[in-house]
């Protein structure tokens, strides 16, 4: 069982990781910002990708009843670190979707004025890879190859697995906060000050 000092350290790391994410979003304001009709904050307009594309999206925070609804939907608990993230932002879309963190989705319309995250029920229940162990909580994916990031449910460690999760340890990070800070820094180096790739075709997944 995780000690109180370890839990406190992981919480501080999460807040530090999110601060790194939010600094990247603030920098992207230089080339545009907006708010969707349902309250998502949009940072860095990237029309070279699509007319309505944005580099980063932060979604409105969830409340405890929302998190309880997620747990009912996915039939498993949300790890405490990720629940804390959801209370700050209901998932994230980073670097034009290079990395997306799942959250709770309530609107499946095609209305372009509505921006919501990919739903946690998709990787954790509806399209859960057969190789995923019962205690794994899948929370993010990389759009380039469909690889998945997950918490193993027994330690704070974050892992990246291939799409089928047959190779479950492509990469690992100490905790969710370290994952956020290191991946934001790594991906940030791949894009210029207008959100364009520095080198076309360079992989956006970790080595």
CA dihedral 129, 133, 139, 140 (to 10 degrees): -50
4-32: buried (b, 16+ CB within 10 Å) or exposed (e) per residue?
eeeeebbbebbeebbebbbebbeebeebb
Task: Give the pLDDT confidence score for residue 34 in this predicted structure.
Answer: 98
Question: Mean of the per-residue pLDDT values for the chain?
Answer: 95
Task: Give the pLDDT confidence score for residue 2 in this predicted structure.
Answer: 56
What integer is the mean pLDDT of 112-137?
Answer: 96
| Class of CATH domain 4-188 | alpha beta
What integer is the mean pLDDT of 63-68?
Answer: 98
Tokens at 170, concatenated: 């492509």
Query: Structure pTM?
Result: 0.94
pLDDT-derived band of residue 3, with 50, 70 and 90 as boundaries?
A: low
């Amino acid at each position: 069982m995780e000690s109180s000092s370890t839990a406190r350290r992981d919480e501080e790391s999460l807040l530090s990781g999110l601060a790194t994410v939010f600094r990247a979003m603030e920098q992207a304001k230089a080339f545009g910002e907006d708010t969707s009709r349902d309250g998502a904050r949009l940072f860095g307009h990237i029309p070279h990708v699509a007319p309505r594309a944005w580099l980063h999206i932060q979604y409105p925070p969830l409340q405890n009843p929302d998190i309880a609804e997620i747990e009912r939907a996915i039939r498993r608990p949300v790890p405490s670190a990720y629940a804390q993230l959801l209370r700050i932002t209901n998932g994230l879309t980073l670097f034009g979707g290079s990395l997306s963190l799942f959250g709770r989705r309530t609107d499946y319309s095609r209305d372009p004025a509505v921006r919501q995250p990919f739903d946690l029920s998709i990787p954790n229940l509806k399209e859960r890879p057969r190789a995923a162990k019962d205690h794994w909580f899948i929370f993010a994916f990389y759009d380039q190859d469909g690889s998945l990031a997950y918490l193993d449910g027994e330690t704070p460690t974050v892992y990246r697995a291939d799409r089928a999760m047959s190779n479950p340890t492509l990469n690992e990070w100490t905790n969710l906060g370290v994952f956020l800070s290191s991946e934001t820094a790594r991906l940030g180096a791949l894009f210029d000050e207008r959100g364009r790739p520095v080198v076309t075709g360079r992989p956006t997944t970790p080595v």
